[in-house]
Chain A
Amino acid sequence: MPTSLSYREKSLYASLAAELLVYGPYFFLHQQNSVNKVAGMIIAIIVLQMILQSIIAIVTRNRVTDERDRLIELRGYRAGYLTIASLMVLGLGMLWFHASVGHLRLDSRMMGLHFLNVFLGMLVIADITKTATQIVAYRRAL
């Protein structure tokens, strides 16, 4: 039986598209990142999300959300939390390893930006995992 997308599903697809569109070029195309590019990326994702979510809200007549939507949302947040917690442990382990073998130069001017990018990357991966988990849950009916 064909099922059209619900308001929440459309919203999730738009979020995923915005995330891939903004984060993708930032992390995979730019070799020289800077604080300005980080700020630009944050502004771009906010503006893009506002535009896409507004369009979806306008074109969708029925914007009901129910208990199943909330359950799927919680599943997504759980997946996102587990992802960021795992990445944090991995990141701290790598930090400890590099510090112990002497690869880490904390006096480096680029170190702050490097850490910013690493933590931002963790947040991005967790966010994409959250959104993707929710989309999969909707596609599998839960």
Chain B
Amino acid sequence: MREMTQQELADRVGVTRQTVIAIEQDKYSPSLETAFKVALVLGVPLEQCFQYDPRGKR
């Protein structure tokens, strides 16, 4: 699989690179629409990209 830069991912999803960084650092929970777009662009199932931890802050 070819590696993708944060900027490329951001451009294809339609968000800023800073938003991609915030999602990666678990500081921002994206909307469902953005989460689906990220999964679609990365070509992986949604649950592989995002997990919910009930013990965590999110």
Q: Is the CB of A66 within 8 A of B19?
A: yes
Given A140-B27, A141-B28, also A64-B22 (CB < 8 A): no
Q: Is the CB of B22 within 8 A of A141?
A: yes
Q: Is the CB of B34 within 8 A of A67?
A: yes
Residues of chain B touching chain A, judged by Cβ–Cβ distance below 8 Å, are 10-11, 14-19, 21-22, 25, 27-28, 30-31, 34
Q: Is the CB of B16 within 8 A of A64?
A: yes
Decide if A138 is an interface residue (CB 8 Å cutoff): yes
Q: Is the CB of B18 within 8 A of A3?
A: yes
Most central of A65, A68, A142 by chain B CB within 10 Å: A68
Residues of chain A touching chain B, judged by Cβ–Cβ distance below 8 Å, are 1, 3-4, 6-9, 62, 64-69, 138, 140-142
User: CA separation between A68 and B19, bound complex, in Å?
Assistant: 7
Shortest distance from the beta carbon of A41 to any chain B beta carbon, whole Å: 33
Which residue of B14, B15, B21, B28 contacts A1 across the interface (Cβ within 8 Å)? Answer: B21
Q: How many A-B pairs fall under 8 Å by CB? A: 48
Q: Give the dominant DSSP class at A's interface.
A: loop
Inside 8 A of B14's CB, which chain A residues have their CB? 64, 66
Q: Is the CB of A138 within 8 A of B16?
A: no
Shortest distance from the beta carbon of A39 to any chain B beta carbon, whole Å: 38
User: CA separation between A6 and B17, bound complex, in Å?
Assistant: 8
User: CA separation between A7 and B15, bound complex, in Å?
Assistant: 12
Q: Is the CB of A142 within 8 A of B28?
A: yes
Inside 8 A of A140's CB, which chain B residues have their CB? 27
Could you give 20 example pairs across A and B, Cβ below 8 Å?
A1-B21, A3-B21, A6-B17, A7-B16, A8-B16, A62-B17, A64-B14, A64-B15, A66-B15, A66-B19, A67-B30, A68-B15, A68-B18, A68-B19, A68-B30, A69-B16, A141-B22, A141-B25, A142-B22, A142-B27
